[in-house]
Structure 1
Amino acid sequence: MNDYNVVAYTSKYYDQWNSFVAQAKNATFLFHRDFIEYHQDRFEDASKMIFKGDKLVALFPANKNGDTIYSHQGLTYGGLLLKDQAVFTDVLNVFKELLAFFNKLGVNDLVLKMLPRIYNKLPSDTLDYFMFILNAQLVRSDITMVIENSHRLELTSSNRKRGLKKAKKQNLVVKEEEDLSAFWNQILVPNLRDRFNVKPVHTLQEITYLKSKFPKNIRQFNVYKNDEIVAGTTIFESEMVAHAQYISANNQKQELGSLDMIFHHLIEDVFASKKYFDFGICNENEGKQINQGLLSWKESFGARSISQNFYKIETSNYKNLNTILK
């Protein structure tokens, strides 16, 4: 493994990092440095770049918290970022070198938040196999609700059909907006505060900044009745997936069918050619419970579940990877 070298990311690698992300088979815009660093004051960055000789062969977005490395707590998913040409032995050598590097630094545990496979441009489950070899502990598992557009289920839910009829009768209008403030201030923030006593993960200032950096990836769709906003959703769009990052409506959603209207428009029209439409998770209590109402609502659009797993790896177990090849 002596021809591999693990290097800590610094700003001098900004362009090289982002160029690699753009070409990786298992990366989205969330791994761009501008996205990772929008909340850099909250995390101690521990991102690594792995070189083979002079050639950059992998990235590992990460942060450090105490004596544990995470992949990355400020992102929805993570893992080892690779190019199309990476074969099994490349991934094996890179991940072994990475674990050995952390182990030598005195890091005992690495917590890996897996990238759901729907985001992969090519098959990329090698790390899943390594979790078995490394005796990794499964510490959390979420389900995310997904529509595969090439095999979209016919909408059979009577509630969804009735909601869409209501929306059409109410003359609701769906518009894509550049300004997120109406949705944040009038719908999302009050709704989350009143129903759950929580705030959005992103402040309006943060999401506005991120949209300015990624205008093609972060898209806002609102529903209006008589020019008054009644619902909306914020979409994070990557090459393979349109993901509903935020979904919210005012307390008239049952009467108006506003959410039925917006998701019918997005699934049937705006993102019909996207491979997957991702409604997001239904989990609570660190993955141990599922919000049944939310689950049923997402299933009623034809979404079905895939899993996202979180593993804890003892870095000293990197030696186990020496036993794989015969």
Structure 2
Amino acid sequence: MEELNYNIEKYFDKDAHIWDQFLQQNTVNGTFLQSRNFLEYHPKGRFVDYSYIVYDKKGHIAAVCPACLIVNENQRMLISHQGSTFGGIIFGGKYYCEHKIIEIIKCLEEFWKCEKINGVELRITPDLFSQENCAALEYGLYYCGYQDYVEVSTYIDYKYYENDILRNFEQGKRTNVHNCLKAGLVLRELNTDEQIAEFYQILCENLQKFGSTPVHTLTELLEFNNSRLTEECGFYGIYDEEKMLAGAMMFYFANVKVAHTQYLCALQSYYTLSPMTFLYYEMIREMREKGYEKISFGISTEQYGKKLNFGLTKSKEAFGGKHTLNRTYWKELI
């Protein structure tokens, strides 16, 4: 291996501008989810931010690594930033070739060892949200001794989707949609705080069945909609006249033309009408009309991919969904 050509520095608040500028202009696998604008909606103290910036010898940013530190029983673990769904090491385009990827990984590891980091876990950006596929990074991590676990995610690629949306659905889903259309259900975009609060109430009731709560608070969702992520998120509701029966929160990854269903929910009292099926139908239609090339429905796995929700996966497949893998890499350092 040639002499290491990179300098590693820890991220500080003063670096926010150059970090976000790098993400917006130069990366192959960066999204708004790794921007400081997004990560820093979390209140101070929720996480221990332990992010890094990789500079080349000329002082240009080659990569960034949004990360957090977790200390447990004297073990110092570095993990992909807890404020984002995925991230790992985000590379600039001119540095996304195998020998540079491997060299940057090795440089980071040497720095982490000096920081007494015992182990690393990196949730890399999936192919679906990257401007280039992740094969070079995946091999680089494998070459450097990382192990991985995988989670299965479902999406639709409109390029392989029939124009008549219902022709892609299984018969049961088609029947559900026809029944909702006959009942007069309609899709509306949610713009006001009151509408989003109503959506959030339905979401909380849905998750309560599973002993869970939303990742985001209502206050955070309102901040996304009103100021922080005005171009990157949207809210929608399925209505029976003036009553909201189902709702969705979407994330927009405009740089790769992918829309992602962050939250989907429906009133359980209207289960027999299946407004959730109609919500899927309308979001598939709406995102295609907005010019997106793919729509993502997220993962259907738990416990590091070892547990598959067969019912959820089957339901997504019934809309014509196909599968891709989300990978997380880990390694013990010291």
Normalised TM-score (structure 1)? 0.91
Q: Which consecutive segments of 4 or more residues in structure 1 shift more than 6 A? A: none
Secondary structure at 2:62's aligned position in 1? strand
Cα displacement string for residues 11-35 of structure 1 (whole angstroms, at most 9, x for unaligned residues): 1111100011112121111111121
In the alignment, the residues of structure 2 paired with residue 204 and residue 92 of structure 1 have an alpha-carbon distance, to the nearest angstrom, of 41
Could you tell me which runs of 5 or more consecutive residues in structure 2 were left unpaired when the two chains were aligned. none
In the alignment, the residues of structure 2 paired with residue 12 and residue 33 of structure 1 have an alpha-carbon distance, to the nearest angstrom, of 11
Question: Percent sequence identity over matched residues?
Answer: 27
In the alignment, the residues of structure 1 paired with residue 12 and residue 60 of structure 2 have an alpha-carbon distance, to the nearest angstrom, of 17
Could you tell me which amino acid in structure 2 is paired with residue 110 of structure 1? V
Cα displacement string for residues 25-59 of structure 1 (whole angstroms, at most 9, x for unaligned residues): 21111111121122242210011001112111111
Matches of residues 98-137 of structure 1 in structure 2 within 5 Å?
98-137=108-147
- What is the aligned partner in structure 2 of residue 323 from structure 1? none
- What is the aligned partner in structure 1 of residue 309 from structure 2? 291
Cα displacement string for residues 73-116 of structure 1 (whole angstroms, at most 9, x for unaligned residues): 33211111122222333222222111111012211211111211
Shift of 1:2: 4.7
2:222 to 198, 208, 225: 208
In the alignment, the residues of structure 2 paired with residue 214 and residue 126 of structure 1 have an alpha-carbon distance, to the nearest angstrom, of 31
Q: What is the number of equivalent residue pairs in this alignment?
A: 313
Cα displacement string for residues 261-304 of structure 1 (whole angstroms, at most 9, x for unaligned residues): 22222212333532321101111233211111111111111112
Could you tell me which amino acid in structure 2 is paired with residue 268 of structure 1? R
Q: Are 1:221 and 2:236 matched, yes or no?
A: yes
Could you tell me which amino acid in structure 2 is paired with residue 265 of structure 1? E
Shift of 1:252: 4.2
Matches of residues 79-228 of structure 1 in structure 2 within 5 Å?
79-86=88-95, 87-138=97-148, 140-152=149-161, 154-179=167-192, 180-185=196-201, 187-193=202-208, 195-211=209-225, 212-228=227-243
- What is the aligned partner in structure 1 of residue 38 from structure 2? 35
Could you tell me which amino acid in structure 2 is paired with residue 200 of structure 1? P
RMSD of aligned residue pairs (Cα, Å) = 1.7
More RCO (CA 8 Å, sep 6+):
1
Normalised TM-score (structure 2)? 0.89
In the alignment, the residues of structure 1 paired with residue 222 and residue 281 of structure 2 have an alpha-carbon distance, to the nearest angstrom, of 26
Could you tell me which runs of 5 or more consecutive residues in structure 1 were left unpaired when the two chains were aligned. 317-326
Shift of 1:129: 0.3
- What is the aligned partner in structure 1 of residue 82 from structure 2? 73
- What is the aligned partner in structure 2 of residue 25 from structure 1? 28
In the alignment, the residues of structure 2 paired with residue 234 and residue 223 of structure 1 have an alpha-carbon distance, to the nearest angstrom, of 12
Residues 7 and 313 of structure 1, relative CA distance in 2, 3 Å threshold: same
Secondary structure at 2:137's aligned position in 1? helix
Cα displacement string for residues 144-183 of structure 1 (whole angstroms, at most 9, x for unaligned residues): 1111111126424111101110111111110111232110
Q: Which moved more, 1:106-115 or 1:228-237?
A: 106-115
- What is the aligned partner in structure 2 of residue 320 from structure 1? none
Q: Are 1:262 and 2:292 matched, yes or no?
A: no
Q: Is the 8 A contact 1:48 1:61 kept in 2?
A: yes
1:303 to 304, 314, 321: 321
Residues 2 and 285 of structure 1, relative CA distance in 2, 3 Å threshold: closer
Shift of 1:131: 2.8
Secondary structure at 1:76's aligned position in 2? coil
